[in-house]
Amino acid sequence: MKQNAVFSRRKFIRAAGVGAALPTVWTQPRASDQEQLQTLLTRKESNIWLFTGDSITHGAKHTHGFRSYPEVFAERIRWELKRVRDIVINTGISGNAIPNILSDFDWRVSQFKPAVVSLMIGTNDCARAGMTPDLFAQNLTTIVGKIRDLGAVPILHTPNPIILEKAPERRTLPEYIPVIRNVAEQKQVVLVDHFSHWQNTTDIDVNREWLNDPLHPGPRGHQEIARLLFKTLSIFDPQEATCGGPYYEGEH
């Protein structure tokens, strides 16, 4: 073929006639994460819900044998909502920060092929040498991208407030909370803002009732974390036991 017979795309359009146009390709807009979560909660197919994070998600020690918030979530999903074939996995590890999860992502997250990944992190990051809010933001953005690359829906949590004067090594934690909120807003991720909820609860002594030590929620604190998650996902029902409703079948 002669060189002058090779048409550029623009020349081809002109040759086809003035006003000719390529067909418009319509694409379906991506459903929001909240919409995707509602679909997952109502579809017939089963889901894998994965929780990861540090000792708060792990539920280590400070629950005194009671349920951690991922376990309360499992009761809500698998029993009260009758999604008995859904699976709830907890890969939180006490003492971890976000670099630990990133370096162990395949083992902690990917291998389970989750539909949803819930992440609460930051309480240890703020005490790590070399960590800054800016670096934390980069890490958090990276992990959101890795979760979405799996085809999963991410959920971000702010950690609960701590008693700063009794945990001076974590005095910068309040600087990390806006980072989590900003990443959630920028990446359009569902956010469960426990830090705000705990700070705005004034009818009880939150530190005494919800914390077991300066950092870790006790059993009541884990219930509150779970219930705010339920409210964020629009699955809170005050009549159900996991949401605080009365339940007793004893006979005397």
For the chain, the residue count is 252
Residue 90's DSSP bridge partners are 51
Q: Whose structure tokens read 């959101």?
A: 144
CA distance 155 to 144: 9
Domains located in the chain, CATH noted: 32-240 (3.40.50.1110)
Which residues, including other chains, have CB under 8 Å from residue 212's CB and lie 6 or more apart? Answer: 62, 64, 218, 221
CA distance 74 to 67: 10
Give the other-Cβ count within 10 Å of 148's Cβ.
Answer: 15
In this structure, are residues 230 and 236 in contact, taking their beta carbons and an 8 Å threshold? yes
Q: Whose structure tokens read 């990944």?
A: 117
CA distance 190 to 64: 30
Which residues, including other chains, have CB under 8 Å from residue 244's CB and lie 6 or more apart? Answer: 223, 227, 238
The pTM of this model reads 0.87
**Separation of first and last alpha carbons in the chain:** 97
Which residues, including other chains, have CB under 8 Å from residue 80's CB and lie 6 or more apart? Answer: 237, 240, 241, 242
Give pLDDT, residue 6.
Answer: 44
Distance of CA 38 to the CA centre of its chain: 15
At 73 the three-state DSSP class reads helix
Residue 211's DSSP bridge partners are 217
pLDDT in tens, the chain (252 residues): 444 444 344 443 344 444 444 444 445 567 899 999 999 999 999 999 999 999 999 999 999 999 999 999 999 999 999 999 999 999 999 999 999 999 999 999 999 999 999 999 999 999 999 999 999 999 999 999 999 999 999 999 999 999 999 999 999 999 999 999 999 999 999 999 999 999 999 999 999 999 999 999 999 999 999 999 999 999 999 999 999 998 888 776
Which residues, including other chains, have CB under 8 Å from residue 129's CB and lie 6 or more apart? Answer: none
Q: Which helix (H) or strand (E) holds 108?
A: helix 105-108
**Phi, psi for 123 (deg, rounded to 5):** -65, -30
